Amino acid sequence: MRYLTARKRAEGRGASHTGTEHHWSMTVSAVGLALLVPVWLYIFGSALGGARDEVVATFARPFPAILTGLLLVVGMRHFAMGAAMMIEDYAKGTTRKALIIGATALAWAVAATGLFALARIAL
């Protein structure tokens, strides 16, 4: 008979056996956003208040366009995971499922709309 301590049984597993994976995914996306957001704010801030042609020229360059695309995808994925975690903590049953689907759909709709607008500017 094997004897497992409570720590050994719980290590690396939550109730659904994906808690650690979810935590690491949130941590990695948070670190990525911590690196991306200040650079993006500098680029966005320098374009803010300029004429339309200047703003389009700024975001038509490869680096600002790629950075903005990364920020949209990583930021909305982070939002969807965080919103799902919050909803799981406070809602039950069918309401929980509907809210998670709604939050995820909202996140991907924002990302898709932003990427479409960015593609229209950059191409």
- The DSSP symbol for 101 reads H
Total-model pTM: 0.81
Q: What is the tens place of the pLDDT at every residue in 33-68?
A: 999 999 999 999 999 999 999 999 999 999 999 999
Q: What is the tens place of the pLDDT at every residue in 83-121?
A: 999 999 999 999 999 999 999 999 999 999 999 999 999
As a whole number of Å, the end-to-end CA separation of the chain is 65
Q: What is the CATH number of domain 22-122?
A: 1.20.1300
